[in-house]
Structure 1
Amino acid sequence: MESQGNTAQPISADEIALYDRQIRLWGIQAQEKIQSANILLVTAKALANEVAKNLVLAGIGSLTLIDHEVVTENDLGSQFLVAEEHLGKNRAQAAAPQIHSMNPRVKLHVDTDDIHTKPPEFFANFDITIATELDFTTYTNINAACNMANRPFYAAGLHGVYGYIFADLISHDFVIERTKSNVPSKPQETPTRTILNITTKKENEKVIEMVTKREIYSPLILANTSPLPEEYTNRPRRRKQVTPLLSCLRALWEFQKTSGGRLPTFSRQDLENFTQSARDRHQELKLDIETLDSSFLQSFLQNLGSELSPVAAFVGGGLAQDVINVLSAREQPLQNLLLFDGEKSSAPIYPLHPFFPPEMNQSLSAVPPAANPFPLNEAPAAGPS
């Protein structure tokens, strides 16, 4: 498979009729870009079901679904693309007919290989890779391969009432429309976002600005150890509002790094190790330790590894919409970690980046990048993906 490059193809008259409602939302040029997209979706579980449904209905060009596992009893309780008749069959193959029936115009490919066996160059074949329900090391390996190919990467997963989406778009340019303001725009809006260009047009006697912006991203391996921006930690009220889910997710990924990718069990040793790690991560983030209480830790641990359909629908819908925004180069993309807490019905987004003093940036720029530092063909020592 060769790289698609997301070169927009002209849209036909019948496709204009089929996608009329969404063309009215984001325009025909955006729809052309979406229809040229070649997407890789890893792990065909509940979250991927929702992502696939939304992307296929939006009319992407091609979707490759990869999963080497088989359908189990647990899958039947959370997924809508598989049934009892699929038990023991490959998950991706079982889901494929239902995905295809949603929009036969989308080219659908099924790959039953283990994602750990894929070489780094495999990911260069896709415009965007969406990795779901994997361990931290596998996420960072795929992220590194996508970085080397200059391809956007998403990681996402569910743990019962909790969920997360991480985005590394490397460098992404997009356009937003807004009513012209009398206040001059700052070229540097945030540490990661700059304004590249502003043009104007008139609509119904209003002057509309077309603002082209650029967002710079960090890979997961760096974002996972990055501090919260000072506006979150310098204000007591804002600091207390930071969800302890961030510390728990970091503790989970740290646990997976040292345990071969598995989830913590309820053994005394695992509980002690995870609890201490979560408290350490919480303090590293400069958060008040009382906001990470035992009830939240217990809730997080009890939800690990489970899937709930409503949470999958929310997280999967949000992820698919962000992918569509990125493909169409319209709207502000996710920057860069969304955390969903179903108990509180909240979904805060935290920009996590390793910002360094100017003198350190200069010294780092002189260090050549490592060639393929994370080999993808080595599977984790043990444990579920």
Structure 2
Amino acid sequence: MASAIPVEEVAMPDLGEQAQAAASANVTSQTISADEVALYDRQIRLWGMEAQTRMRNANILIAGMRALANEVAKNLVLAGIGSLTVMDSEDVVEDDLGAQFFVSEEDVGINRARAAAPAIQKLNPRVPVHIDTDRVKDKPADYFKKFDIVIVTDMDIDTMLLVNDATRQCEVKFYAAATYGLYGFIFADLLEHEFIVKRIKSNMRTQCGQETRTRKIIATTETKEGETMWEFVRKEEVYCSMSEAIGSQVDKKWRQRRRKNVGSILPGIRALWEFQQNFGRLPESTKEDFKAFTTVMTEVAKAIDVPPELVKSDFIRLFVENATAELSPVAAVLGGILAQDAINVLAEQEQPIQNLLVFDGDISAAPIVVLVSQAEED
């Protein structure tokens, strides 16, 4: 095991001389050292040396260091990414202690990113961890160019939209995610992402060409392992921005039953974002907010073309009561899904989230809905 790499605070847009040197060394190196092979043996066996090398070369930003970000950071650092920058402009408060495992009572009053970074670093001293205490929405677009993936967690909708616009300018992959008590979401904008799916070859020949409205098959190869013939299918997913997605409807080809099966959580999350934009905050457990949220959710359900019966008073009551809560089990589930998806994206393996996963912890459901711009629909 290598000696611990000191946590570095990042005040300027660059990662610092130490991180730049490390990144440069990673880019030029085509092999992983013997001790790294031993450390990451299990996952190298799972997804291969090439995928592990891509992860080792990746620089990732996580903005917003609350419970969800804790889970994502933990999984990414343990996987052996190239570097992690944690960003948060807020200080640790007592409410953070209930669900966030990188901070303790001694950290109350200390910046969240600064407080969490040492514990993150201890998980894997090989991965440089950098600190940025600025607000992510104050960063110029060029700031994001040095990252391979930008992950924004537990931010308001306007901040998520702003950062996504910036990452698109820089051609950087983007995730946004948040938890609201028992509920939450993950949104992915991976631009144009290619990946490989390994599967047992069927009797039907795989045809190259458009597979869905967002995905196409580019190429296929075959190999025999023992008595089994395997097929490697290279695909490409094309994504839209978050601003385009939230202005779209569900797939016009969906039948009414499928529209209903997305549950109340889809219009609920979309209504919460609109509520945030209208009132500048999350809804609270008051009669006025229940009424206002019901109105917004009713309008959203109609706008995205899902059945009006999904606007249920029981769901709204639980959703609004939970909106400002932070629960570690929900953060663990969503954080695990998000981190694994990011790892798969770096490894260029498996089907990534396309493009909105909504989570309803009350009924243990996590449907994924493809939302594309209306222009693409037409």
Please report the TM-score for the alignment, with normalisation by the length of structure 1.
0.89
The yes-or-no answer on 1:55 pairing with 2:76 is yes
Root mean square deviation, CA, Å: 1.8
The yes-or-no answer on 1:115 pairing with 2:136 is yes
Correspondence for 1:155: 176
The yes-or-no answer on 1:195 pairing with 2:214 is no
AA matched with 2:222: T
AA matched with 2:267: S
Correspondence for 1:215: 237
> 1:215 and 1:63 mapped to 2: Cα distance?
26
Judge conservation of contact 1:56–1:103 (CA < 8 Å) in 2: yes
> 2:341 and 2:308 mapped to 1: Cα distance?
33
Correspondence for 2:9: none
Q: Deviations over 1:189-239 (max 9, x none)?
A: 10000011111111113222111100000111110121111343x2x3322
> 1:189 and 1:273 mapped to 2: Cα distance?
41
Judge conservation of contact 1:120–1:145 (CA < 8 Å) in 2: yes
Gaps of at least 5 residues in structure 1 are 361-385
CA separation of 1:7 and 1:230: change in aligned 2, threshold 3 A:
farther
Judge conservation of contact 1:8–1:36 (CA < 8 Å) in 2: no
AA matched with 2:247: T
Correspondence for 1:256: 276
Identity %: 49
Judge conservation of contact 1:167–1:336 (CA < 8 Å) in 2: yes
SS at match of 1:201: strand
AA matched with 1:351: V
1:182 Cα deviation (Å)? 2.3
The yes-or-no answer on 1:297 pairing with 2:319 is no
Q: Deviations over 1:35-57 (max 9, x none)?
A: 11000000110000000000000
Judge conservation of contact 2:164–2:242 (CA < 8 Å) in 1: yes
> 2:332 and 2:286 mapped to 1: Cα distance?
32
Correspondence for 2:8: none
1:355 Cα deviation (Å)? 4.3
Please report the TM-score for the alignment, with normalisation by the length of structure 2.
0.90
Correspondence for 1:375: none
Gaps of at least 5 residues in structure 2 are 1-13
Within 5 Å, give how 1:244-323 maps onto structure 2: 244-260=264-280, 262-323=281-342
The yes-or-no answer on 1:356 pairing with 2:375 is yes
1:259 Cα deviation (Å)? 2.7
Q: Deviations over 1:38-92 (max 9, x none)?
A: 0000011000000000000001010000001011111000111111011111111
Correspondence for 1:325: 344
Correspondence for 2:246: 224
SS at match of 1:332: coil
AA matched with 2:263: T
Correspondence for 2:259: 239
Judge conservation of contact 2:62–2:87 (CA < 8 Å) in 1: yes
> 1:48 and 1:295 mapped to 2: Cα distance?
29
1:348 Cα deviation (Å)? 0.8
> 2:260 and 2:27 mapped to 1: Cα distance?
45
Judge conservation of contact 1:52–1:99 (CA < 8 Å) in 2: yes
Deviates more, 1:246-255 or 1:123-132: 246-255
> 1:223 and 1:140 mapped to 2: Cα distance?
11
Correspondence for 2:56: 35
> 2:221 and 2:28 mapped to 1: Cα distance?
23
